[in-house]
Structure 1
Amino acid sequence: MKRGSPGPPEFHSTAYGMKYFHTVFLLWAVLLAGCAQNPSGTGSGSPKTSEGPLRVGLVFDVGGRGDRAFNDLAYSGLEQAKKELGVDFIYVEPGGEGGEREAALRQMADDPEIGMVIGVGLLFSEDITALAGEYPSKKFACVDYMPVKGAALPSNLSGMTFEEKKGSFLAGALAGLMTRSNTVGFIGGMDSGIIRKFETGFREGVHFVNPRATLISGFIGMTGSAFANPAKGRELALGQYGRGADIIYQAAGASGLGVLEAAGETGRLVICTDCDPETLKDSRILGSMTKAVDRSVFSTVASAADGSFEGGRAVVYGLDDRYTDLVYSVSNKDRIPPSVLGRIEALRTKILSGEIALDETAALR
């Protein structure tokens, strides 16, 4: 079934085979009926890791697999966990704008064979916080977790966070040092606190190394669907390139594919976010601010599998160990002068030492 088409979300399993088919069919039916509930509210699901390998249920962010970025990296982390740890998993791609997220999370939480449930993306924060409270015996994790106002992190929920502002500062420095037109652009997906961290970090990085540079900034939308609108991404990018930008930094999920399309049409460049190694071979890409979603998903699943999982806190995957990083295009690294590469590494060192202070929480307030 194609993403966004009418009907239930896609469920996939790596090892359940026919014995899991009945569970999946029921889950589809419940989602379609709109009645995925736990009437008792007692959280009856409980992990059964002692009876076999850990089984993980993952729900993708808007855009699903194939975004060549955020979601694909999360899947890669699960694949690594399967290969190296013997973990089994099932994943779901919510349809449309992701309105089935809560129902999919709840069904996984209610399944006694699933020991850990992961939501990929900030849009899961509120739902997964509530569900973790209902299912205290099950482990939960959320990639790009956003604090929920008035709610503490449950002891069985790990909030996975990154230093987007610091990584974006380095991306801004790269753009500011490499621009020839002295005009660069930023395109964000959903206008939200986390994406504002990308924008403000990029802006500060550009102006730190090139105070005279002009930044054109834009967001695709105000809802989760903004991460799955390549046509709008292309439209905004063509507008920014038309106004003189020669490099655009995009933090737009699958909508960023439209930015790449516009770069190809105009012969300009893009700095991406969360590119996988294969995508970095694209000649339209100058570099990518990466969040090692694959590594963080793997390490979180590994902790659940070996009993060292610790919830109740936000885990920061930061610049110091390169969970947050700036990487360069395989095709275009040779066009970046050694002096620029050296300058960016020097900036990284100053950020880590505190000489350059960047408040990761400013855009979230």
Structure 2
Amino acid sequence: MRRVAKLSAACIASAALALTATACGSTSSENDSSSSASDGGKDGVKIGLAFDVGGRGDRSFNDSAARGADKAKEEFGGDIKELTAKSSDTEADREQRLSDLADAGYNPVIGVGFAYATSIGKVSAKYPKVSFGIIDSVVEAKNVNSITFTEEQGSYLAGVAAALKTKKDHVGFVGGVDTPLIKKFEAGYVQGVKDTKPSVKVDVQYLSRGTDLSGFSSPDKGKEAASGMLDNGADVVYAAAGSSGNGAIEAVNGVKGAWAIGVDSDQYNIPGLAKYKNSILTSMVKNVDVGVYDFIKSVHDAKPLTGVNNYSLATDGVSLATSGGFIDDIKPQLDAAKKKIVDGGIKVKTTP
């Protein structure tokens, strides 16, 4: 399910994190609070999770990480401590959060999102006996496991699906923040659309830029962006925007004949999005839960993973969800595209 490779440092950016844990179904994490789930056995694992903005309950990226931790806790016992981002946090806040988890005896400590890269690089050096995990970035340290994904490959397949399903030859992409990571989603999606049907127009919009990470936790902005694309003639919208993507899905649901493409989790099956599920064509699933579980298990087994563990299309680290059966009719084309990527016949771009 994974392959280990050495990669250069990438996607290191500033972010915001704070002592907040959102409840399931919420879409914001701007309060200063913490949550702890404890059920444990001395032989269990004390898991420290530092979530990205949106936290548990974003119905997307963070929830996928949470599922991996929950599975590990259920299997091995122990407890989970969750701290969640605020978009106004500083680098000092991030470092303090990770240090607090390590000081409290949590091991492993996992930074859910590329924004933790710099802080994990610093904090891991201070706690050499603690195993740290970083999702979506690479930190080169002896006690750090870098969990990465080929988002561009899964997004390419999403683009193929969009091109085959659009009736207006016009589709859209909503990105949360214009970071190198999200641009991988854009690049793969646009390439998949154009390789499949060059005449299709692709609108692209980002919700925030630079160090402003509000684009990952603003469903109202996601809804507004998607609505604008639909008004301009698009009938398929792919959003890679954390909980902001929930707003995009809501917007699409209000337009007859339009489709949304979800991200990270199989959003068709997310309870909080159930009323919109018949508008969710597919989701580009990114198995963050598998990466998190694998890492926690390795720590539990006293053989902690380190280096870079890359989850690719070839190993189903990324994939297209088939829930709802809406892409069953184009499965041959999607399978053919996947085979070409895996075999090297298609080189998917990582930048637009």
Q: TM-score, structure 2 length as denominator?
A: 0.85
CA contact (8 A) 2:58 2:243 kept: yes
Structure-2 separation of matches of 1:255 and 1:336: 24
CA contact (8 A) 2:68 2:291 kept: yes
Structure that is richer in helix per residue: 1
Which residue number in structure 1 is paired with residue 8 of structure 2? none
Q: Give the secondary-structure state (helix, strand or coil) at the position aligned to 1:266.
A: coil
Which residue number in structure 1 is paired with residue 230 of structure 2? 241
Name which of 179, 182, 194 aligns with 1:192: 179
1:164-204 deviation digits (Å, cap 9, x = unpaired): 01000000000011110000000000110010000010000
Name which of 129, 145, 150 aligns with 1:163: 150
Structure-2 separation of matches of 1:231 and 1:108: 32
Structure possessing the higher radius of gyration over alpha carbons: 1
CA contact (8 A) 1:10 1:94 kept: no
The one-letter code of the counterpart of 1:251 is: A
Name which of 94, 102, 115 aligns with 1:101: 94
Which residue number in structure 1 is paired with residue 49 of structure 2? 58
The one-letter code of the counterpart of 2:288 is: V
Name which of 293, 298, 303 aligns with 1:298: 293
When residues 157 and 278 of structure 1 are mapped into structure 2, their CA distance, relative to the original with a 3 A threshold, is same
CA contact (8 A) 1:155 1:310 kept: no
Cα RMSD after superposing both structures: 2.1
Which residue number in structure 2 is paired with residue 26 of structure 1? none
* Per-residue deviation, 1:8: 2.5
The one-letter code of the counterpart of 2:171 is: V
Q: Give the secondary-structure state (helix, strand or coil) at the position aligned to 1:296.
A: helix
Q: Give the secondary-structure state (helix, strand or coil) at the position aligned to 2:190.
A: helix
Which residue number in structure 1 is paired with residue 346 of structure 2? 356
Structure-2 separation of matches of 1:344 and 1:6: 40
Flag structure 2 segments of 5+ consecutive residues without an equivalent: 1-19, 23-27
CA contact (8 A) 1:123 1:224 kept: no
Structure-2 separation of matches of 1:82 and 1:337: 35
1:223-249 deviation digits (Å, cap 9, x = unpaired): 222100111111111110011100001
Name which of 254, 266, 279 aligns with 2:255: 266
* Per-residue deviation, 1:64: 1.0
Which residue number in structure 1 is paired with residue 103 of structure 2? 110
Flag structure 1 segments of 5+ consecutive residues without an equivalent: 17-48
Structure-2 separation of matches of 1:11 and 1:285: 31
Q: Pairwise mapping of residues 1-365 of structure 1 onto structure 2 (< 5 A)?
A: 8-15=32-39, 52-99=43-90, 100-111=93-104, 113-145=105-137, 147=138, 153-222=140-209, 223-267=212-256, 268-276=258-266, 278-279=269-270, 282-311=277-306, 313-330=307-324, 333=325, 335-336=326-327, 338=329, 340-360=330-350, 362=351
The one-letter code of the counterpart of 1:319 is: L
The one-letter code of the counterpart of 1:81 is: A
Structure-1 separation of matches of 2:78 and 2:158: 35
Aligned residues: 318
CA contact (8 A) 2:113 2:136 kept: yes
CA contact (8 A) 1:68 1:275 kept: yes
* Per-residue deviation, 1:59: 1.0
* Per-residue deviation, 1:54: 2.1
Q: Give the secondary-structure state (helix, strand or coil) at the position aligned to 2:304.
A: coil
When residues 6 and 187 of structure 1 are mapped into structure 2, their CA distance, relative to the original with a 3 A threshold, is closer
Structure-2 separation of matches of 1:5 and 1:199: 26
Q: Give the secondary-structure state (helix, strand or coil) at the position aligned to 1:133.
A: helix
When residues 253 and 6 of structure 1 are mapped into structure 2, their CA distance, relative to the original with a 3 A threshold, is closer
The one-letter code of the counterpart of 1:168 is: S
* Per-residue deviation, 1:129: 1.3
* Per-residue deviation, 1:86: 2.1
* Per-residue deviation, 1:337: 5.5
Structure-1 separation of matches of 2:287 and 2:162: 22
Question: Which deviates further from its counterpart, 259-268 or 228-237?
Answer: 259-268
CA contact (8 A) 1:190 1:252 kept: yes
Q: TM-score, structure 1 length as denominator?
A: 0.82
The one-letter code of the counterpart of 1:309 is: P
1:22-55 deviation digits (Å, cap 9, x = unpaired): xxxxxxxxxxxxxxxxxxxxxxxxxxx9x63221
